[in-house]
Amino acid sequence: MRTVVFDLDGTLADTSADLLAAANACFRALGHGDMLTEADSLTAFHGGRAMLRLGFSRLGAVRDTDIDAQYPRLLAAYADGIDTQTRLYPGAVQAVESLRANGFATAICTNKPEGLAETLVTRLGIRGLFDALVGADTLPTRKPDLAPYVASVERAGGRVARSMLLGDTETDRKTGLAAGVPVALVTFGPEGRDIARLEPDALLDHFDDLPDLAERLVR
């Protein structure tokens, strides 16, 4: 079965505002103001530790011990407000439904912890549209290692040789290269069309174009 694997943050949904809010909650609890702004959305899509590192760098000192101490607090704050401002990108649901109607399996492979990813897609009402979900802690490794990608395809009932990855970051591009599969990167994320610098197999400007793109990339 042909399979399309989706990244979650920055690909299916714009989660940046809720991620940034969780990081800022940590800095406020430490007695600082909000250290991150909407302009830091790209960092948000690189994960909690990346946001904490950026915030601490603006305070003048980055220590791994501080990041390690705040990371569980960030996850707790994020869990409390996981879908406050998060929104699916326009056309995402219709595109996934169309793929499935055309015989594709669909899966999610994300570097968000599995439990949080499951919670988010359930609250967004899209969990039933995906045959598998693999998160950052589902396996001992995470993207760009190929193992999570392979697991997401196989758990969805597909074969890696007949699959593709849709993502939004360099991590996704490297994952596709490691797995030897086509990668399309979205241009509606924080980098816009500058993401073309990664030379993916294709760029996706709108979810309306995904079904035709998948037909072309996954033979």
Q: HEC string of the chain?
A: CCEEEECCECCCEECHHHHHHHHHHHHHHCCCCCCCCHHHHHHHCCCHHHHHHHHHHHCCCCCHHHHHHHHHHHHHHHHHCCCCCCEECCCHHHHHHHHHHCCCEEEEECCCCHHHHHHHHHHCCCHHHCCEEECCCCCCCCCCCHHHHHHHHHHCCCCHHHEEEEECCHHHHHHHHHHCCCEEEECCCCCHHHHHHHCCCEEECCHHHHHHHHHHHCC
**pLDDT for res 126:** 98
**pLDDT for res 219:** 86
**pLDDT for res 49:** 95
**pLDDT for res 203:** 98
Contacts of 67 (CB under 8 A, 6+ apart): 49, 52, 53, 56
**pLDDT for res 190:** 83
**pLDDT for res 189:** 87
Question: Catalytic positions, please?
Answer: 7
**pLDDT for res 144:** 98
User: What is the mean pLDDT of each successive set of 10 residues along the chain, which is 219 residues long?
Assistant: 97 97 98 96 93 98 96 97 98 98 98 97 98 98 98 98 97 98 95 96 98 97
